[in-house]
Structure 1
Amino acid sequence: MNYVIIGGDAAGMSAAMQIIRNDKEAKVTVLESGTYYSYAQCGLPYLLSGVVGEQDDLVARDVETFRQKHGIDARVNHTVTSIDTQNKTVSGEDFTVQYDKLLVATGARPIVPKWNGFELGRIHTLKTIPDALRIMENLTDEVKHVTIVGGGYIGLEVAENIVMTGRKVTLVNRSERLGAGFEKSMSKLIQDEAETHGVELMLGEEVHSFKGNQDGNVTEVSTTSRTIQTDMVIAAVGVTPNTDFLSGSGIHLSEKEAIKVNAYLETNVPDIYAAGDCATQYHRLKQKDDFLPLGTHANKQGRLAGLNMIGNARPFQGVVGTAIMQFFDLTLAKTGLNSAEAQDLGFPCAISETETSTSAAYHPNAERINSLLVYHGDTEQVLGGQFIGKTGVDKRVDVLATALYYKVTMEEIENLDLSYAPPYNSVWDPLQQTARRR
């Protein structure tokens, strides 16, 4: 059986490993458009500041490991440009490969609006190790000011790590709020943290164009209301699935151009599967397919796709939309739906919000934590939650993510038997205190 995988990162190699571990006769070919296999894209911002010392620290397994240890035909610089579903082949500029079963795991790429001047030097996006290396190469002593475009997770992480290098940062965001998906009150905490650490914020502003000097490097960013003098630009306004090459294949795509898959990661075309940032994910609360490109989903979907391709049927159980990040001294986390998403689905939602302590108030470890729950106004089913604080955020968001998986109510949150000792918690956990305030 010839298994072909397009894409050599999280989803693709998770699938490849499941295939070779469970089918000793399998022939696995992986076609990767770049040169790096199985690396941690989420760690790239930390490479810029030196928190992560070397790019190789982000590589879980290099291409030679897959070739020599696992017997995978792992190819680099192989960009697939078309799929022939009738003859079951995939092709690129100078190659054609036959498949019996195919997995598309091509990931996503940064969105780049049609900005005039984007081709200038020292204007970057950040999605791959080569992207990060180009930014680091350009971060010379003469680069004193960096403009970040976008206030979502990547934009915030890049802003923090550039500040850590001692440079001035201006963050331009089209939305009036930082942190995509956070409620207004929680976004204000993110904004305050950014300003505390010297990040200049331009909210509700759109970038129009860039201008450069005689050397071809960017020097100006023109926005809705002003011109920013800058030495570098890093754009982080979102990603879009790498699915352009599927045109004419007959494979169905979502409105956001992600590949539509069922619970078994199958597309509508026989023997073709998809997983990771190029595919849809079933959202358990929305009860429909969504597009939430995260490494956790890519690894899970890839693993299950590999098992399904060899006949070990395992459905993907879906997501609830959990995410967490560090931003200077704070941890920001969310799971489930925010109020806008709930209202779009027609739910009569309500919000309960508290500022409490992560441990007994009298204990020296005590830190403040802001907690917010979104719940159904009639049934009191919990629909989502958000947490911001210096410590204890990860614990609360993961407890709530588990609860959301099983569709609990606000009262059932109150009834949870959660751990307590003065250094770790108050007798009522912040999550439970927030549920009680409804």
Structure 2
Amino acid sequence: MNEEKIVFIGGGAAGATAALETRKRLRDAEITILESGAYPQYSCCALPFVLGGEIDDYRDIILFDEGFYKEFGKMDLLLNTKALAIDRDSKKVICEGREFEYDKLVITTGSYAFVPPISGLDKISFGKRTFLYKFMPEAKALHDAAAGARRALVIGAGLVGMEVADALNRRGVEVTMIELLPTIMHVMVDDDMARMVTGHFEENGIKMFLGTKVTGISESQDLVSVATDEGEHAADLCILASGVRAETGIARDAGLEVGRG
């Protein structure tokens, strides 16, 4: 009897956890995890704590290395392997130069950092002075850039924006936060808690511009400038923390019905 082939697209928290749980229940299945990134599952939530110095090294937030999946999970974790398409008729996942047959397919592609429609962003290359903050390569790039930075702008006061601002502040960087909504972490905390946290940030030297719309962004050799409806701000670095969107592209392209994720 042939072993059942189960393929997971995505090796982040959902994919890795689901694959390990599947192994507990299906001892003989042939399990393959296709991960587009260069790292096994790690804690995205811990990235700001490395930036702020509470955790020593990015390697410390990787939950299990490749050997763990092979030795203990008896499954193949393939890094730097991006799934390009799903052929539902032949039950194959198409990657660059390779195809993977499956009996069952689990799509755990996670989310990506949302890039807001700000004038000038299309002329900027992320990773020099302007950064997204979702995955480890982006976090490492910001970490390196922050070593020589004096001032930073954080656009977005959700959870990620607040944690990045706090981490940079702990490093001695002068931080300015810009948030479109009138309160921080709008869907997470009530107004009383928002005022308390905002006050704490301001007491620690973080400038807070709430209810402020960003209208443009530009980079020069030395600075990044952000225009708002209340004035202009300049800094060495700018971090976009405008939330995430579900990565549903490959599922949609395969003809599956998807919502917001």
- TM-score (norm: length of structure 2): 0.92
User: Match for 1:88 among 88, 91, 102?
Assistant: 91
CA distance in 2: counterparts of 1:77 and 1:139, whole angstroms: 27
Give 1:212 shift. 1.9
Corresponding residue number in structure 2 for 1:167: 173
User: Match for 2:240 among 194, 210, 235?
Assistant: 235
Matches within 5 A, 1:235-254: 235-254=240-259
CA distance in 1: counterparts of 2:210 and 2:107, whole angstroms: 37
Report the count of equivalent residues: 253
Corresponding residue number in structure 2 for 1:70: 73
Report percent identity of matched pairs.
26
* Amino acid aligned to 1:232: L
Corresponding residue number in structure 2 for 1:314: none
Q: Say yes or no: does 1:9 pair with 2:12.
A: yes
Aligned 8 A contact 1:210 1:218 in 2: no
* Amino acid aligned to 1:3: I
Give 1:177 shift. 0.8
Give the structure, 1 or 2, with the largest relative contact order (CA under 8 Å, sep 6 or more): 2
User: Match for 1:54 among 29, 53, 57?
Assistant: 57
Corresponding residue number in structure 2 for 1:200: 207
Instruction: Provide structure 1 residue ranges, at least 5 long, that are not aligned to the other structure.
Output: 259-438
CA distance in 1: counterparts of 2:206 and 2:194, whole angstroms: 15
Corresponding residue number in structure 2 for 1:40: 43
Aligned 8 A contact 1:49 1:161 in 2: yes
Q: Say yes or no: does 1:106 pair with 2:109.
A: yes
* Amino acid aligned to 1:11: A
* Amino acid aligned to 1:87: S
Give 1:138 shift. 0.8
* Amino acid aligned to 1:19: T
**Over residues 146-198 of structure 1, what are the superposed CA-to-partner deviations in whole Å (9 max), with x where a residue is unaligned?**
10111111111111111000110000000011122233333222221111111
Corresponding residue number in structure 1 for 2:191: 184
CA distance in 2: counterparts of 1:180 and 1:188, whole angstroms: 11
Aligned 8 A contact 2:182 2:211 in 1: yes
* Amino acid aligned to 1:186: M
Matches within 5 A, 1:290-301: none
Give 1:218 shift. 4.0
CA distance in 2: counterparts of 1:224 and 1:26, whole angstroms: 57
Aligned to 2:18, the other structure's residue is in SS state helix
Corresponding residue number in structure 2 for 1:25: 28
Aligned to 1:247, the other structure's residue is in SS state helix
* Amino acid aligned to 2:228: T
**Over residues 120-161 of structure 1, what are the superposed CA-to-partner deviations in whole Å (9 max), with x where a residue is unaligned?**
6221111111111111111133x1001011111111111111
Give 1:94 shift. 1.9
CA distance in 1: counterparts of 2:104 and 2:58, whole angstroms: 33
Matches within 5 A, 1:35-434: 35-115=38-118, 116-117=120-121, 118-119=124-125, 121-141=128-148, 143-181=149-187, 182-213=189-220, 215=221, 218-254=223-259, 256=260, 258=261
Aligned 8 A contact 2:82 2:96 in 1: yes
Larger radius of gyration: 1
Aligned to 2:194, the other structure's residue is in SS state helix
CA distance in 2: counterparts of 1:123 and 1:212, whole angstroms: 8
Give 1:33 shift. 0.3
CA distance in 2: counterparts of 1:185 and 1:21, whole angstroms: 45
Change (3 A) 1:21 1:184: closer
Aligned 8 A contact 1:152 1:178 in 2: yes
Corresponding residue number in structure 2 for 1:425: none
Give 1:246 shift. 2.1
Aligned to 1:209, the other structure's residue is in SS state strand
RMSD: 1.5
Aligned 8 A contact 1:179 1:190 in 2: no
CA distance in 2: counterparts of 1:35 and 1:119, whole angstroms: 21
